[in-house]
Every structure is written in C-alpha cells, then in structure tokens.
C-alpha cells in the first residue's frame, strides 16, 4: 500500500522482495518489534464464548510517528498461537485480499478502520473447503483493544486487571480524562458514542460487518476484523452477511 507506507515514512526499498519479504511475511523483525498474541474473551452471536484470543494473528509492535501518535502493526495469518484452538493459524489469499480491499474502501469513505499495509502470498497450501493459497496481511490501527479484552478479566473475576487495563487505555487514548473524578463514566460514554457513530457510518454506505461479536469490537470505534462482510446496493432490512 504505497500511499499508506509513504504516510508512515516507510522506505519503498523495504517492499522490495530481496529486502523486505521477510518483514511482511513474519520471518524478520524490525528493530523494536516484540511480537505477541493477545488473549481476550467475548460473546459470539449473543452467546458467551469464553476465552478466545489471537488465533492467527500476532501484534508485532507499535510505530511511533513524528507527531507522537502510535500505530499497532499486526500480522494476520502468522501461524499457530496459544489461542488458535482448533484452527491452523493461517489466512488464505482470497480473504486477505477481501480485507485489504474493504479496509481501504472504508478509509476512503471516511469511516474509521484498520488499514492494510501489505499482503504477502505463501507457497504453502491451506485447507479450507478446498485447498487455497496462503497469505499474510500486515494491518495497522491506532489500537487493537477490544471489548473482549475487558470481558476476559471481568468474567475471570479479576477486577484489579479490568481497572489496570482501563487505566492503560485512558493513559494511551484518553489522556484528557485521566484526572477527571468520574473518568470511567466519561470514558464509557465516549466508547458508546464512538461505536454508535461507526455503525451509523456503516449504515450510511450499506456496509454489513457479519461478525459483530464483542471480540471484534474496537474500543476506539474502528472497523476491523473483516470477515464475511458485505455491501448493500439496495435496502434490505433483513439483510445478513
């Protein structure tokens, strides 16, 4: 994604196969990268699903931009993690291209979203309904904090960790609320407003997410985890992706 790479100050030489293929395919780490898989829980289709987590993704690290803002770098299709459950940790080229196209379209439409930075294909076949070509996608987002991160500790009855995570989120993304006596209430209201605004924008362009589970809901009101999404050309009140 040349335009995104330029805006992040990433040299074009890093996208040359002989120099950068290892970075975008997860084989080489850039200085400062400390990859990890996140644990979270969630409700899926209205039912408590318990512990979930990054089953095929790795959070590579954060990039600090010249203006002081930070962006997460996340590698999707990275392979098995402690949270892969029955999956193989892989992504296929078909769905990876779909995510890349949708996220860039949503960005162009002015809708808050993660963005696709690169796609790398793999020679290793991946078994789905048929054998498909594997691929990996590096996406960037201001944060990958999800509703499900908080549910994980709440349902484990670990309120101290819920508060610790909330304080981290406030410090990183809502610093203007840190010293407010009712900061948690104000913070919660802002999350609700961001989420409502995001979904209103979805509706304005006829976008259906398809898997609006709490493990796929961004704390910052970003659209991410593009799966069986779809766009409506004509209004269908009962439409399901």
Check 2, 167, 182, 215 and give the catalytic one: 215
In-domain check, residue 51? yes
In-domain check, residue 239? no
Residue 120's pLDDT is 94
Concatenate the DSSP letters of all residues of the chain into one string: -HHHHHHTT--GGGGSHHHHHHHHTTSSPPTT---B----EEEETTEEEEE---SSEEEEEEEEPTTS-EEEEEEET----TT-TTS-S-EEHHHHHHHHHHHHHHHHTT--B-EEEEEEEEEEEEESSSEEEEEEEEEEES---BHHHHHHHHHTT-HHHHHHHHHHHHHHH-GGGTT-TTHHHHHHHHHHHHHHHHHHHHHHHTEE-S---GGG-BTT--B----S-EE-SS--TT---
- In the chain, the number of structural domains is 1
Residue 21's pLDDT is 72
pLDDT digits (tens, 9 = 90+) for 39-75: 999 999 999 999 999 999 999 999 999 998 999 999 9
In-domain check, residue 140? yes
Chain mean pLDDT for the chain:
95
pLDDT of 13 > 80? The answer is yes
Query: Whole domain around residue 200: which residue ranges?
Result: 2-231
For the residues 13-19, what does the mean pLDDT come to?
A: 83
Judge whether 215 counts as a catalytic residue. Answer: yes
In-domain check, residue 241? no
Residue 194's pLDDT is 98
Instruction: Specify whether the CB–CB gap between 174 and 187 falls below 8 A.
Output: yes
pLDDT of 201 > 80? The answer is yes
pLDDT of 18 > 80? The answer is no
In-domain check, residue 210? yes
Q: Binning pLDDT at 50, 70 and 90, where does residue 27 land?
A: confident
Determine the length of the chain. 241
pLDDT of 23 > 90? The answer is no
In-domain check, residue 133? yes
Residue 17's pLDDT is 79
Residue 108's pLDDT is 97
- Best CA proximity match to 51, nearest among 164, 215, 220, 211: 215
Please state, in angstroms and rounded to a whole number, the distance separating the CA atoms of residues 174 and 207: 28
Residue 195's pLDDT is 98
In-domain check, residue 237? no
In-domain check, residue 42? yes
């Amino acid at each position: 994604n040349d335009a995104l790479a330029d805006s992040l100050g990433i040299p074009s030489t890093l996208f040359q196969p002989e120099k950068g293929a290892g970075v975008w395919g997860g084989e080489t780490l850039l200085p400062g990268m400390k990859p990890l898989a996140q644990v979270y829980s969630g409700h899926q289709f209205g039912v408590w699903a318990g512990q979930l987590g990054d089953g095929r993704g790795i959070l590579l690290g954060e990039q600090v931009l010249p203006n002081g803002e930070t962006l997460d770098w996340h590698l999707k299709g990275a392979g098995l993690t402690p949270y892969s459950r029955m999956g193989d940790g892989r992504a296929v080229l078909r769905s990876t291209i779909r995510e890349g196209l949708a996220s860039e379209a949503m960005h162009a439409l002015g809708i808050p979203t993660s963005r696709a930075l690169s796609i790398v294909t793999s020679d290793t076949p991946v078994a789905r309904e048929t054998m498909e070509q594997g691929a990996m996608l590096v996406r960037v987002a201001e944060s990958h904090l999800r509703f499900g991160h908080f549910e994980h500790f709440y349902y484990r009855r670990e309120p101290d960790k819920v508060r610790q995570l909330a304080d981290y989120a406030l410090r990183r993304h809502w610093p203007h609320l840190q010293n407010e006596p009712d900061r948690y209430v104000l913070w919660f209201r802002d999350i609700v407003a961001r989420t409502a605004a995001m979904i209103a924008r979805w509706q304005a362009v006829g976008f259906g997410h398809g898997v609006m589970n709490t493990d796929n809901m961004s704390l910052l009101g970003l659209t991410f985890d593009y799966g069986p999404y779809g766009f409506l050309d004509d209004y269908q009140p009962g439409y399901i992706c």
